[in-house]
Structure 1
Amino acid sequence: MDELQTLRDELKLLRADFDAMATKARKADDYIEICNLQAAYGYYVDKGRWDDAADLFAPDATLELAGRGVYVGQERVRAYLHHLPPYDRGVLYNHMQLQPVIHIDSTTGTAKGRWRSFMMVGALGAEARWGEATYENQYKRVDGKWRIALLHGYMNIYTDYEQGWHKGGVKLLRSIDGLQPDLPPTMEYEAYPEPVIAPYHYDKV
């Protein structure tokens, strides 16, 4: 009888270990999928693939960039993206997605992530600029796939390449011609040389 109880206890421990490993494996898979999702967004934006970028958002997603107000819903996100410069000869629009800090709730299918976006933006013979922003994003599973639920880019610095940041930055563009936001900005701020600290979704890692 004691031997049977010992086997039951060992089986119970094995099941607990298996469940713990399965939970860790699911979270690891979710982490990879979210990183790929955000990186894909950056690559699509680089090349002006606005519809592909918009398809990465949830149907009820929101987008807020550089203090220009909030756009609500995937189709409004799509409309916003289509108002950005088209990719063509002499256009540079690189948006690198770096330094992720991601917290995932695999059970509910939700996650939050903080990213740094490094930008090289310009047009041949017209302008060349550096940019850097902090993203505080939210994600959720939609029909089994991770999608961007909230994308909020806080622009930290935008400056002319030839002048450099020691001479100051370019004022943020507060609106998009021909497209009004659905909601006002959630935070009023100005970029460098003013200090900008995007709110953290976490206190400690």
Structure 2
Amino acid sequence: MSDSSPDLAAELAALRQRLDSLEARTQAAEDHLAIANLQRAYGYYVDKSQWEHVADLFARDAVLEINGRGRFIGHERIREYMRHFGPPKRGLLMNHMQLQPVIHVEPDGVHAHARVRALMMVGQMGDHAMWGEAIYENDYLKEDGVWKIARLKAWQVLYTPYDKGWAVEASPLLSEFGDFPPDEPIEAYPVFPDYFCPPYHYRNPVSGRE
């Protein structure tokens, strides 16, 4: 019996190590799914002008940057920003499809990052219709045990009239609201048709290059 005890202890230690590894991988998978669902939920709420639901997705000290409108800091300021768009109206289309998520959870299990593409169909019946595209580079925080958006950074790629398309016309970077100034301005950046690639939060997964 004494000869087998060291082997048994080593086997138990190895099993504990494997169990710890599996638990960590399971938690990481659950976190990945929770963040993906969080971002998708954001898109669905924006689609229907459900601004209170949108604001609820943000952490207490969150930061919001969309296009060139500036930086809005803190949960309540983000709620004000969302309410600025007003209630849904007949004939209003605001579809924000959340596509191609690339998600990374930090080893601490409470911070994460995602790059997501938004394809937008926006407009008002009888007035205008636009195609739009944006790239999100977002940060997330597990706050009070729940994943929330800690920083939403939407880089405008293009807006173009539906009836003309991007081969004919493209809108400039959307700037600040005249009646609702941001907490901080942000520096302008190029949009289509100029070339610009919003910075990645991750390295190349094969080569490791930035």
Partner AA of 1:157 in structure 2: L
CA contact (8 A) 2:173 2:188 kept: no
CA contact (8 A) 1:58 1:74 kept: yes
Q: Distance in 1 between matches of 2:110 and 2:149?
A: 12
Q: Distance in 1 between matches of 2:202 and 2:85?
A: 31
Residue of structure 2 in register with 1:201 after alignment: 201
In structure 1, runs of 5+ residues without a counterpart are none
- Helix, strand or coil at the partner of 1:42: helix
CA deviation vs aligned residue, 1:74-97 (integer Å, no higher than 9, x gap): 111111111225322100000011
CA contact (8 A) 2:64 2:78 kept: yes
Partner AA of 1:198 in structure 2: P
Residue of structure 1 in register with 2:84 after alignment: 83
1:138 aligns with 2:128: no
- Counterparts in 2 of 1:37-48, with a 5 A limit? 37-48=38-49
When residues 86 and 192 of structure 1 are mapped into structure 2, their CA distance, relative to the original with a 3 A threshold, is: farther
Cα deviation, residue 106, structure 1: 5.2
- Helix, strand or coil at the partner of 2:59: strand
Residue of structure 2 in register with 1:70 after alignment: 71
CA contact (8 A) 1:60 1:73 kept: yes
Residue of structure 2 in register with 1:179 after alignment: 180
- Helix, strand or coil at the partner of 1:21: helix
Q: Distance in 1 between matches of 2:80 and 2:86?
A: 12
Cα deviation, residue 203, structure 1: 1.2
In structure 2, runs of 5+ residues without a counterpart are 206-210
- TM-score when scaled to structure 1? 0.96
May I ask how many residue pairs the two structures share in their alignment? Answer: 204
Cα deviation, residue 195, structure 1: 1.4
Root-mean-square deviation (CA, aligned residues, Å) is: 1.2
Cα deviation, residue 107, structure 1: 2.5
Identity %: 46
1:11 aligns with 2:25: no
Q: Distance in 2 between matches of 1:23 and 1:5?
A: 27
Q: Distance in 2 between matches of 1:202 and 1:148?
A: 18
Q: Distance in 1 between matches of 2:89 and 2:14?
A: 60
- TM-score when scaled to structure 2? 0.94
- Helix, strand or coil at the partner of 2:136: strand
Partner AA of 1:180 in structure 2: P
CA contact (8 A) 2:28 2:109 kept: no
